[in-house]
Amino acid sequence: MSSLFGVLFDGFAYGMLLFLLSVGLSVTLGMMNFVNLAHCSFAMIGGYAAVTLMNEWGWPFLVTLPIAFLAGGVASIVLERVLYRHLYRATDLDQCLLTIGIVFVSVAAAAYLFGTTQQPVNTPQWLRGSVTVLGVTVGAYRLFLIVVALVVSAILVAALEYTRFGAQVRAAVDNQRMARGLGIDVDRVFATTFALGGGLAGLGGALAIEIIGLDPAFAFTYLIYVLIVVSVGGLGSIGGSFAAAAVIGISDMAGKYYFPELGAFLIYLVMVGILMWRPAGLFGKR
């Protein structure tokens, strides 16, 4: 029984990580329909930034997290201003290809700068091992991860509901043309959201190292999971990303634990099945 709980807990923690990595892509895809397959490259940049600060300059782990967020955000802004801006009206295919090209470049660059081995991470003492909460023993780091993700979700939802910027984001996702007609500077809203999404990905990348490691292939390997979360959860939906990430995280963990021969088969099957049932995702626009 406790192993079932363990699988659920670890799965949920993994799901929360996927949520942080995916939420930015979901919202920007829903808003501008821009297929950015390089989203996990931002996560990778955040991860490598954190690692460099920790290992080269001895910064404490917690302090590197906001820097990772910034790194992801800045990389997003640069890419958006220089390249993406010109392709908002391009076809799905063109956007796919451009961003795949950027992934290739980022993977090669990471390999060149940091080598191909896994990066070590220096988590603080109090995050290692396990803690006992309400009589249950769980991994400390995973608990930390869940807490961070929940806090971020709360902030996102609150910002979306109660701030003017949040209202603009919701309007732009719902109906871009109408939003423009109302005088909302959709391009600026998009650029800001894009930067925030990239920042969250960067944060996710830094947090991910302890759980799933960091190497140059990260931008590709986790891209597939992120795409699954986004397409299953529904474009433009924070709640959808949260639900989908949790489901995918738990399914993947359960699959690997209970049916190891199946490998990743279960996840792909779940995705194809859900998309066939609801092509716009569980919570997407119909």
Partner 1 sequence: MSTLGTLDARGTPAAATPQQVLADGIRWKRLEIIFWLCLLLPFVLTPSYLSLASQIAITALFAVSLDLILGYAGIVSLGHAAYFGLGAYAAGLLAKWGWGEPLTGLVIAAAVAGVFGYATSFIISRFRHLALIMITLGLGLLLHEAANSASGLTGGADGLQGVKMWPIFGAFKFDLFGTTAYVYSLVVLFLTVLVARRIIHSPFGLSLRGIRENAIRMPAIGASNDAHIRKIYTIAAVMAGVAGALLAQTTETVSLEVLSFQRSADVLVILILGGAGRLYGGIIGAIIYMVARDQFSGINPQYWYFWIGLLLVAVVMFLPNGILGGLARLTRSWRGKWW
Chain contacts with partner 1 (rule: CB under 8 A): 29, 33, 35, 83, 86-87, 90, 92-94, 96-98, 100-109, 111-112, 116, 216, 224, 227-228, 230-231, 235, 261-265, 268-269, 271-272, 275-276, 279-280
Shortest distance (Å) from residue 261 CB to partner 1:
6
Determine the 3-state secondary structure of 89 from DSSP.
coil
Token pair belonging to 184: 């909302």
Shortest distance (Å) from residue 174 CB to partner 1:
18
Phi, psi of 91 (to 5 degrees): -75, 160
Q: CA angle 206-7-140, nearest 5°?
A: 45
Toward partner 1, which CB reaches closer, 101 or 129?
101
C-alpha distance across the termini of the chain, in Å: 40
Q: Are strands 130-133 and 136-139 parallel, antiparallel or unpaired?
A: antiparallel
Toward partner 1, which CB reaches closer, 211 or 275?
275
Toward partner 1, which CB reaches closer, 167 or 280?
280
Shortest distance (Å) from residue 247 CB to partner 1:
15
Shortest distance (Å) from residue 49 CB to partner 1:
20
Shortest distance (Å) from residue 95 CB to partner 1:
8
Distance, C-alpha 11 to centroid of its chain: 16
Amino acid at 46: G
Toward partner 1, which CB reaches closer, 145 or 274?
274
Question: Which position has the token pair 């969250």?
Answer: 200
**In the chain, alpha helices (H):** 2-32, 39-57, 61-82, 92-114, 140-162, 164-174, 176-181, 186-212, 218-233, 238-258, 265-277
Toward partner 1, which CB reaches closer, 29 or 246?
29
Toward partner 1, which CB reaches closer, 139 or 197?
197
Q: Which positions ≥6 away from 227 have C-beta within 8 Å?
A: 37
Determine the 3-state secondary structure of 131 from DSSP.
strand
Shortest distance (Å) from residue 124 CB to partner 1:
33
Cβ–Cβ under 8 Å, residues 21 and 201: yes
